[in-house]
């Protein structure tokens, strides 16, 4: 037996060797998989480094170019004006976005409150109807219980002879009344369960604004964007403010140092006016109504008006006098208005 084992080996030893080989195989496969994942991650990180290096190089180029502009005494004033205008344009963008967001939230809250009021009133009416049914069942139960007691007293007051002839019919009547009481009590229990369900019912989730509400909001947003333009137009810088947000520094010339100083003074005046002017809600509403009379929409599901139909700048002075001129605020995307429209 020992000689055979020496020649062919032990079967248990062969099994152990096979298991070890399989374990080594799978370990090697897992290592190869992990290595491939690490190599893929390395390539991804290398690509990100190259991308970041490219961004850094572009930023450095811009800084170098800006430095060259600031070094040149003839161009430095233009750089200051450009960034002052861009800052003013950024304030307009933020103001319009804030106005749009507050308006949307206010309208949504108002609509949600109306929905809750309607839902709560309907719930109260449903609860009152169930309570009335419960009251009816309670009165019916009392009547049946009185009738049951009356019949039971009548049965007990009968003598033996009368009970022989009438007792059976009275017993049937008593059983019938008892079953009716049980039925009414079951119905009363179901009504109480229904009432509890109505009382504990959770309010519906807000469904959002409908197309009509979104259109109304967008007309108010457009009216506010026009108001911002009108404020700057008094100082004659509305167009250059918008231009500064669309072009790069150095691409626009604002003239001599003296002319740049004049523009800076107008920028400061316009910025102060932005802070002071707040009471124009009635003007916005009137302008929005006038824009709504002209607005056309591409389809029944569209909330943003066709820009060409609302390309009229509407000025309304303190006396209510209206003056109109051509200006496509929406089409030319003043103050990034396309980003804040409700859709």
Residues forming a β-bridge with 314: 324
Flag whether 4 is in a domain.
Answer: no
In this prediction, the residues of the chain whose per-residue pLDDT falls under 50 are 1-4, 6-8
Q: Which long-range contacts (CB under 8 A, 24 or more apart) does 93-99 make?
A: 93/245, 93/335, 93/336, 95/228, 95/274, 95/335, 96/221, 96/224, 96/225, 96/228, 96/335, 96/336, 96/337, 96/340, 97/336, 97/339, 97/340, 99/221, 99/224
Q: Cβ distance 332 to 234 under 8 Å?
A: no
**Has residue 155 been placed in a domain?**
yes
Give the pLDDT score at 4: 47
Residues 225 and 103 in one domain: yes
In a domain, 204, yes or no: no
Task: Pick the last residue of a domain from 153, 180, 199.
Answer: 199
Return d(Cα 183, Cα 163) in angstroms, integer. Answer: 28
Is residue 113 included in any domain, yes or no?
A: no
Q: Is the CB of residue 314 less than 8 Å from the CB of residue 226?
A: yes
The pTM for the full model equals 0.67
Q: Tell whether 216 and 330 lie within a shared domain.
A: yes
Q: Using CA atoms, how far apart are residues 225 and 96, in angstroms rounded to an integer?
A: 7
Exposure on the CB side of residue 32, measured as CA atoms within 13 A: 6
Looking at the fold, whether 152 and 60 belong to one and the same domain comes out as no
173 and 89 in a common domain? no
Query: Is residue 250 in some structural domain?
Result: yes
Tokens of 291: 């824009």
> Residue 7 has what pLDDT?
47
Model pLDDT, residue 99? 93
Q: What is the pLDDT of residue 69?
A: 61
Residue 68: per-residue pLDDT: 65
On whether the CB atoms of residues 334 and 225 are closer than 8 A, the answer is yes
Asked whether residue 174 falls in the same domain as residue 248, the answer is no
**Structure confidence at residue 8 (pLDDT):** 46
Specify the number of domains making up the chain: 3
Are 122 and 104 in a shared domain? no
Which residues constitute the domain of residue 147?
A: 118-199
Is the distance from CB of 214 to CB of 343 less than 8 angstroms?
Answer: yes
Helix and strand numbers (H, E) in the chain are 8, 2
Residue 301 backbone dihedrals phi, psi, to 5 degrees: -100, 5
What is the secondary structure of 263-325 as a DSSP string? HHHHHHHHHHHHHH----HHHHHHHHHHHHHH---SSTT--SPPGGGG-EEEEE-TT--EEEE
Residues 179 and 131 in one domain: yes
In a domain, 294, yes or no: yes
Task: For residues 189 and 307, state if they share a domain.
Answer: no
Are 27 and 149 found together in one domain?
Answer: no
- Greatest CA span in the chain, whole angstroms? 133
One domain for residues 238 and 261: yes
125 and 104 within one domain: no
Spatial contact of 264 and 80, defined as CB atoms under 8 Å apart: yes
Q: Are residues 143 and 176 in the same domain?
A: yes
């Amino acid at each position: 037996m020992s000689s055979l084992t020496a020649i062919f080996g032990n079967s248990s030893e062969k099994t152990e060797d096979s298991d070890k080989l399989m374990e080594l195989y799978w370990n090697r496969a897992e290592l190869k998989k992990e290595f491939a994942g690490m190599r893929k991650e390395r390539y991804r990180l290398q690509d990100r480094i190259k991308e970041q290096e490219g961004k850094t190089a572009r930023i450095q180029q811009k800084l170098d170019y800006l430095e060259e502009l600031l070094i040149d005494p003839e161009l430095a004033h233009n750089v200051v004006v450009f960034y002052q205008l861009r800052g003013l344009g950024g304030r307009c963008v933020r103001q319009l976005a804030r106005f749009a967001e507050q308006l949307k939230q206010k309208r949504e809250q108002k609509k949600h409150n109306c929905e809750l009021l309607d839902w709560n009133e309907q719930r109260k009416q449903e609860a009152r109807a169930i309570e009335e049914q419960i009251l009816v069942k309670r009165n019916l139960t009392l009547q049946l219980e009185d009738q049951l007691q009356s019949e039971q007293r009548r049965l007990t007051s009968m003598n033996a002879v009368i009970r022989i002839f009438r007792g059976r019919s009275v017993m049937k009547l008593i059983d019938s009344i008892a079953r009716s009481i049980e039925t009414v009590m079951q119905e009363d229990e179901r009504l109480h369960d229904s009432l509890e369900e109505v009382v504990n019912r959770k309010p519906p989730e807000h469904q959002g604004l409908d197309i009509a509400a979104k259109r109304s909001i967008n007309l108010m947003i457009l009216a506010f964007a026009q108001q911002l333009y009108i404020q700057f137009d008094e100082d004659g810088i509305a167009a250059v403010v918008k231009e500064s947000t669309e072009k790069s520094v150095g691409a626009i010339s604002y003239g001599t140092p003296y002319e740049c100083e004049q523009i800076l003074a107008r920028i400061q005046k316009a910025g102060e006016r932005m802070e002071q002017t707040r009471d124009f809600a009635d003007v916005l509403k009137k302008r929005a109504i006038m824009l709504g009379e002209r607005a056309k929409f591409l389809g029944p599901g569209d909330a943003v008006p066709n820009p060409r139909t609302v390309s009229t700048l509407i000025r309304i002075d303190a006396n209510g006098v209206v003056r109109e001129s051509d200006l496509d605020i929406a089409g030319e995307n003043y103050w990034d208005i396309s980003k804040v429209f409700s859709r």
